[in-house]
Amino acid sequence: MSLLSIDELKTLVEESQSPCVSLYMPTQKAGPETRQNPIRFKNLIREAEERLDEMGIRHTEAVDFLQPAKELDTHEFWQNQDRGLAIFISPNVFRYYKLPMEFEELVVVNNKFHLKPLLHLINNDGRFFVLALSQDNVRFFEGTRYTIRELEVENMPKSLSEALLYEETAKTGQFRIATSKGSTASPFSRSQPGAFHGQGSPDRDQHQKDILQFFYLIDGALHEKLREEKVPLVLVGVEYLFAIYREANTYQNLVEEGIAANVDIVKPEELHKQAWQIVEPTYTQTHKAIMELYQQIAGEGTGRASSDLKEIISAAYFQRVDSLLVPVNEQVWGNFDPQTMAVDLHSQPEPDDQDLLDFAAVHTLLNGGAVYTVEQQQLPNGALAAAIFRY
């Protein structure tokens, strides 16, 4: 099974060769409901065979074509599922993804893969980071609306003792450790401007300064990893550490609210739940702001915003779309000819048709634009999509 990523999306777009079969289904993770998984799957396979037959492919060839997917149908496979399953089959591609979001059952067979249901998971819509801090254990996570996974960060110490060991090793000249705030000296061997000053014994004051220097090292490692990022970062740990870390932090999107928890025992699922509660309003506001910006630009009559689907499809292909608002669970069938820029829309799918909402969303994303998935009723004036153009 491949990992879902923007690179995987590009592979599915660039290596697709007709016929392309896209299968989506909800799956059950545990309990007696898992018995529904193979039943749904067999029904989708049967429907895919019928669609291939309609394309003029002989039934025996259609059966053979879908054989790699059929071989997934084992007891072990169905006992190890997430909330949704997506499968893609073409003459030169076979990919499947167990995913943490529930899909509507869907079979699409044409000359391109149908990818729009995946956009929630592969664009920045709902993405965030979590930094779990303690003196003995530092962990870093990447999350989305539906998922969370732990990541390794190069050169980031995992504990205060490890950072102190770096310092001792650096003194022997074995290697040069990360430095803070642009300094070339070891951060444990110099006094930092604005260093944290606790109250109490000199030993306690020194310990808190050591923690600050430890956090400078963490921030330095994260600075390299997050250099191009703009998504929220949430802190987790004992609350008194938050203020110290903020003094060392240089990442501009560190959120104000943190999660008070024991880093050693908190489960990733709980981190995800609490972090999403913190960052979700940010994304809700972003959607609202994009909608308001669209309405403002559309009202100016400059031609830089449109809800005309034919215009949007052409603009997405030719890299003009900066931001696209599109419903995930709607399909508009037809085809687009890049040579003539002609867009034909059909009320029902015809041979060689594709979902043009899917086409617009995927090309916007691959061309560096932003895609915002919305409900159909959120779009203005009953539009099928809305776009802000680069020019």
What's the pLDDT tens digit per position in 327-386? 877 889 999 999 999 999 998 888 778 899 999 998 998 888 888 888 888 898 889 999
The radius of gyration of the chain from alpha carbons, rounded to an integer in Å, stands at: 25
Using pLDDT thresholds of 50, 70 and 90, give the confidence band for residue 240.
very high
pLDDT at res. 3: 56
Domain ranges in the chain are 6-114, 128-279, 301-389
Give me the pLDDT at residue 122, please.
67
128-279 adopts what CATH topology? Answer: Nucleotidyltransferase; domain 5 (3.30.420)
The per-residue pLDDT for 102 is 85
**173 phi-psi bin (left φ>0, alpha ψ -120 to 50, beta other):** left
Most distant CA pair in the chain: distance in Å?
A: 84
Average pLDDT for residues 52-61, to the nearest whole number? 91
The pLDDT score that the predictor gives to residue 167 is 57
Candidates 95, 93, 116; CA nearest to 106 is 116
- pLDDT at residue 71 in the model: 95
pLDDT in tens, 150-186: 999 999 999 998 887 755 555 544 443 444 444 434 4
User: What pLDDT is attached to residue 101?
Assistant: 82
Would the pLDDT of 263 be above 70? Answer: yes
pLDDT of residue 125: 59
Residue 222, pLDDT score: 96
Q: What percent of the chain has pLDDT over 90?
A: 57
Reported as a pLDDT band with limits 50, 70 and 90, residue 44 is: very high
| 212-223 mean pLDDT | 94
Angle value at C-alpha 119, between 117 and 123, nearest 5 degrees: 170
Q: Kindly report the pTM of this predicted structure.
A: 0.64
Average pLDDT across the chain, whole number:
86
Please report, for residues 372, 377, 391, the alpha-carbon distance to residue 295 in angstroms, rounded to integers and kept in the order given.
15, 15, 16
283-333 per-position pLDDT tens digit? 888 888 999 999 999 999 999 999 999 999 999 999 999 999 998 778 899
Can you give the pLDDT at residue 195?
A: 42
- Token couple for 3: 């990992």
What are the tens digits of pLDDT across the range 98-129? 988 888 899 999 888 998 888 777 665 578 99
Residue corresponding to tokens 């987790």: 236
How high is the pLDDT of residue 163? 81
Q: Domain 6-114, what architecture?
A: 2-Layer Sandwich (3.30)
Residue 189 pLDDT more than 50? no
- Residue 385 tokens read as 């999509």
Query: What CA–CA distance (Å, rounded) separates 86 from 99?
Result: 8
The CATH number of the domain covering residues in 301-389: 3.30.1330.30
